[in-house]
Amino acid sequence: MDKNTFSLRILLVFLVGLSLGFLLTQADHYLNKKKHYLSMNKLTQRVTKYVDEEMFKGRVKVKISEMQPFGSVAKFKIQIPGQNGTYTSYVTREGNFLFPQGYEIKFSAKPTPKAAITSQPTQKPAATPSSQPTSKPKAK
């Protein structure tokens, strides 16, 4: 075995060992990165406490209901004393971000015609006799 082949094998073994070491020490971080979702009851408690204590500073007690998973967020109804009806709001399932309102992103089936988007062309004002150029002098 020549010296170059031996050096190449040593380098290859070193790189494989380095890769395996990386995988063994970092695999848990990359492969088992699970989201820590709170239960719907815990989310309800957390949102109620936050809204009551931080947003309304204890002046009113809100009612949170119908907390349910909605993708990576939870959707719920909030009723605020003194206001009519309930509002649909959202919170991340980890309980870190509250979205008081959400908009569904959907597009109309047919694109809006270009004529409806652009403004109407302006019409030129009608020419008055004094504004029209004349090639002949007026006879008196």
pLDDT digits (tens, 9 = 90+) for 43-54: 999 999 999 999
Question: Rounded distance, CA 37 to CA 96, Å?
Answer: 10
User: Pick from 100, 103, 24, 17: which is nearest to 55 by CA?
Assistant: 100
Residue with tokens 């309930």: 86
% of the chain with per-residue pLDDT over 70: 63
Q: Which residue has the higher pLDDT, 110 or 96?
A: 96
pTM of the model: 0.53
pLDDT digits (tens, 9 = 90+) for 75-104: 999 999 988 889 999 999 999 999 988 888
For residue 64 the two structure tokens come to 């949170």
Residue 68 has pLDDT above 60, yes or no: yes
Residue 73 has pLDDT above 90, yes or no: yes
Range 40-99 has CATH code 3.10.450.520: yes
Q: How confident is the model at residue 7 (pLDDT cuts 50, 70, 90)?
A: confident
